[in-house]
Amino acid sequence: MNGAEYIVKFLEKKGVDLVFGYPGGVVLFLYDVLGRSSIKHILTRHEQGAIHGADGYARVTGRTGVCLATSGPGATNLVTGIANAHLDSVPILVITGQVGVDSIGRDSFQEADIVGITMPITKHNYLVKELDRLPGVLEEAWNVAREGRPGPVLIDIPKNIFTGTADFPEAVCNLPNRKIPLKNGLTRQLERIAKVLKEAQRPLIFAGGGVISSGAEEALAEFRGYSEIPVVTSLMGKGAIPEEPGGSLGMVGMHGRPAANLALSQCDVLLALGARFSDRVTGNPQNFLPETCIIHVDIDPAELSKNVHADFPVVSDVQTFLKLLLQRLKEENSKPTIQPWLTQINSWEKEFTLSYQQGSLLKPQEIIKEVARQAVNEPIVVTDVGQHQMFTAQYYPVKGKRNFVTSGGLGTMGFGLPAAMGAAFGRPGETVVLFTGDGGFQMTVQELAVMAQYQLPVKVFILNNSCLGMVRQWQELFFKGHYAHSLFTSGPNFVKLAEAYGVKGLQIAKSEDLKVVVQEAFSYPGPVVVECIVDQKENVLPIIPPGGKPNEMLGRWHGEAHVSRLS
């Protein structure tokens, strides 16, 4: 058996039925074997599409995404996508080809030190220089990508490893039993946490992406149902619990929902689940909730007290922790008495609503609301990065499991379209809604070809404001309206562009057309691109200026037309 055959057999054994990739010189041997296997290969039109595709696939399925690329430029084109998956803790196995072992270090054709380049942006990476290490590395890499806090793992494989033949030994992986986080002390910690929660007057659950990666959605819903403690989420935690009464108050942070941010600023006990207190949530971490007792649960010990001091650090996966804590609360028959707190939050929700002003031009918010209104069967919602992403986070109430896909940590423009493509492959037959901007869409537009080829049911809504909206907004607010290089003075005809790829193209320019066109997009079975011409001057509000506290929101309050600071 040669190395290439071993790799393909390994992937089949792990149940991989779909990979995203792009062939090239040194991986031809691998592709030759792959092409004869049962594994489906999606040929994207750029390696970045392949890595974001694997990312979207992994996020909506909970399985490990697999991505292939050739050496040199093939590998370096993956870099952005790997960093993206790393910051959002998405399990991806990346296999890159490398020039033959004898050619390494000679600046050979299409040689790049991808292991060196991706060292800081992978959970771990490998260069396989000896054939007999291949089985062990594959097995270990597969486990590393999934276990504990998930993340991308890269294996760089020189050409001669693909072609070399050997009697491969049975792979052994000694990882899982080597560094399991210590479970001792959890019982004692649970006891103290149960007491703190019981005595809390204004407790709040802050759900992060870890709730979703540990599959704790039901556990969270049950815990919330029993304890009645209100829930807010981070951007990555959006969708961990339905955004409806009795579910989540919405996203907190820089562009969070007002009631959610107010609840965050006033809570006396914060139960943070699988969240990493990013600067978009905390502002200046030194000023973040100094009086609040913070219980921080994370599978990754390095997250505890990294950004914000945890009064109760807990190393555990969220699901296990929530089940144990709920059990404990039920046994003690205790729950916090928090009626006044709930009443307070209720009144905030009524008083400080999200609002925007209707005008002659189409507003991005009304499109998102209309799409959400018409969507049936809880579609997967994907975003790119920028204003439309924040509007979606604010206005689209996501329901259902693993139904929200967004580039949280890295904020990667160009993520949306290929991620939506990957999501559609991950959950065949389900509708995918993508909100994107005219900027980000043009960064990875080539993947429309894949959508057309497979007739993927992806509904792309381009909120076209002819500018880089978030950049423009910051220039308006913090650079005295000096719009340096953020306004597009020319752009493509998006409808014709979609049609050129064989994708249906539609356009909305006026509010009165909104309902009909969204309907048309949903009723058409295959991919659709809907260009929505929106008001360039619309800003994402509320906004907490950089470094501000959760309650220091700028927004329009009580129906006023002008923007003011809440406190």
Partner 1 sequence: MRHTLAVLVENRPGVLSHVAGLFARRGYNIESLVVGETEDKTVSRITLVVEGDERVIEQVSKQLNKQIEVIKVNDITNEETVDRQMLLLKVTADQAARQEILQLMEIFRCRVVDIGRRSLIIEATGDEGKLEAVTQSLRPFGIKELVRTGKVAMVRGPK
- Tokens linked to 396: 């689209």
- Give the strand pairing for 293-298 and 269-273: parallel
- Give the strand pairing for 404-405 and 380-383: parallel
Give dist(CA 89, CA 153) in Å, integer. Answer: 11
For residue 26, what are the contacts with CB-CB under 8 A and spacing of at least 6? Answer: 70, 71, 97, 98, 99, 100, 110, 158, 159, 162
Catalytic residue, chosen from 5, 98, 140, 159, is 159
The 3-class SS string of 244-295 reads CCCCEEEECCCCCCHHHHHHHHHCCEEEEECCCCCHHHHCCHHHCCCCCEEE
Catalytic residue, chosen from 110, 344, 446, 507, is 110
Q: Is residue 110 flagged as an active site residue? A: yes
Q: Contacts with partner 1 in 388-407 (CB under 8 A)?
A: none
For partner 1, which is the closer residue by CB, 272 or 467? 272
For partner 1, which is the closer residue by CB, 11 or 144? 144
In the complex, the smallest distance separating the C-beta of residue 245 from partner 1, rounded to whole angstroms, is 39
> Of residues 15, 120, 481, 559, which one binds partner 1 by CB under 8 A?
120
Give dist(CA 152, CA 269) in Å, integer. Answer: 34
Contact window for partner 1 (CB under 8 A) among 70-78, 102-110, 296-304, 326-334 = 296-304
> Of residues 119, 172, 342, 516, which one binds partner 1 by CB under 8 A?
119
- Tokens linked to 133: 């290490």
Size of the site for partner 1 (CB under 8 A): 18
Q: Is 243 in the site for partner 1 (CB under 8 A)?
A: no
Contact window for partner 1 (CB under 8 A) among 124-132, 159-167, 208-216, 318-326 = 124-132
In the complex, the smallest distance separating the C-beta of residue 552 from partner 1, rounded to whole angstroms, is 26
Hey, which residues does 535 pair with through a beta bridge? none
Contact window for partner 1 (CB under 8 A) among 299-307, 321-329, 387-395, 549-557 = 299-307
Q: Is 290 in the site for partner 1 (CB under 8 A)?
A: no
Q: Is residue 1 flagged as an active site residue? A: no
Q: Which residue has the tokens 């084109």?
A: 77
- Give the strand pairing for 564-565 and 554-555: antiparallel
Catalytic residue, chosen from 1, 12, 40, 109, is 109
Name the 3-class secondary structure at 19: strand
For partner 1, which is the closer residue by CB, 133 or 369? 133
> Of residues 124, 198, 323, 401, which one binds partner 1 by CB under 8 A?
124
Neighbours of 564 (CB within 10 A): 11
- Tokens linked to 355: 């609002």
In the complex, the smallest distance separating the C-beta of residue 75 from partner 1, rounded to whole angstroms, is 16
> Of residues 14, 46, 306, 427, which one binds partner 1 by CB under 8 A?
306
Q: Which residue has the tokens 């031809």?
A: 28
In the complex, the smallest distance separating the C-beta of residue 309 from partner 1, rounded to whole angstroms, is 9
Q: Which residue has the tokens 């959400």?
A: 372
> Of residues 37, 61, 103, 305, which one binds partner 1 by CB under 8 A?
305
- Tokens linked to 293: 């007792």
> Of residues 140, 349, 370, 552, which one binds partner 1 by CB under 8 A?
140
Catalytic residue, chosen from 5, 47, 531, 538, is 47
18: Cα within 13 Å, side-chain hemisphere = 23
> Of residues 300, 366, 476, 499, which one binds partner 1 by CB under 8 A?
300
For partner 1, which is the closer residue by CB, 28 or 101? 101
Angle at 443 between CA 437 and CA 447, to 5 degrees: 100
Name the 3-class secondary structure at 157: strand
**Closest Cα to residue 550, out of 262, 313, 294, 317?**
262
> Of residues 35, 73, 105, 116, which one binds partner 1 by CB under 8 A?
116
Q: Which amino acid is residue 53, in one-letter code?
A: G
| DSSP code for 363 | P
How far does Cα 482 stand from its chain's mean position? 32
Q: Contacts with partner 1 in 483-542 (CB under 8 A)?
A: none
Q: Which amino acid is residue 250, in one-letter code?
A: G
In the complex, the smallest distance separating the C-beta of residue 146 from partner 1, rounded to whole angstroms, is 13
In the complex, the smallest distance separating the C-beta of residue 115 from partner 1, rounded to whole angstroms, is 7
Handedness of CA 377, 382, 386, 389 (dihedral sign): positive
For partner 1, which is the closer residue by CB, 301 or 397? 301
Q: Is residue 159 flagged as an active site residue? A: yes
Q: Is residue 47 flagged as an active site residue? A: yes
Q: Contacts with partner 1 in 164-203 (CB under 8 A)?
A: 175, 178-179
Question: How many Å from the N-terminal Cα to the C-terminal Cα in the chain?
Answer: 69
Contact window for partner 1 (CB under 8 A) among 62-70, 113-121, 391-399, 408-416 = 113-121
Contact window for partner 1 (CB under 8 A) among 111-119, 249-257, 284-292, 553-561 = 111-119
- Tokens linked to 22: 């792009």
Q: Which residue has the tokens 């996020």?
A: 59
In the complex, the smallest distance separating the C-beta of residue 301 from partner 1, rounded to whole angstroms, is 5
> Of residues 19, 42, 54, 127, which one binds partner 1 by CB under 8 A?
127
Catalytic residue, chosen from 254, 451, 470, 553, is 470
- Tokens linked to 527: 């991919």
For partner 1, which is the closer residue by CB, 121 or 553? 121
In the chain, the largest separation of any two C-alpha atoms, in whole Å, equals 75
What are the residues binding partner 1 (CB under 8 A)?
115-116, 119-120, 123-124, 127, 129, 140, 144, 175, 178-179, 300-302, 305-306
Catalytic residues: 47, 109-110, 159, 470
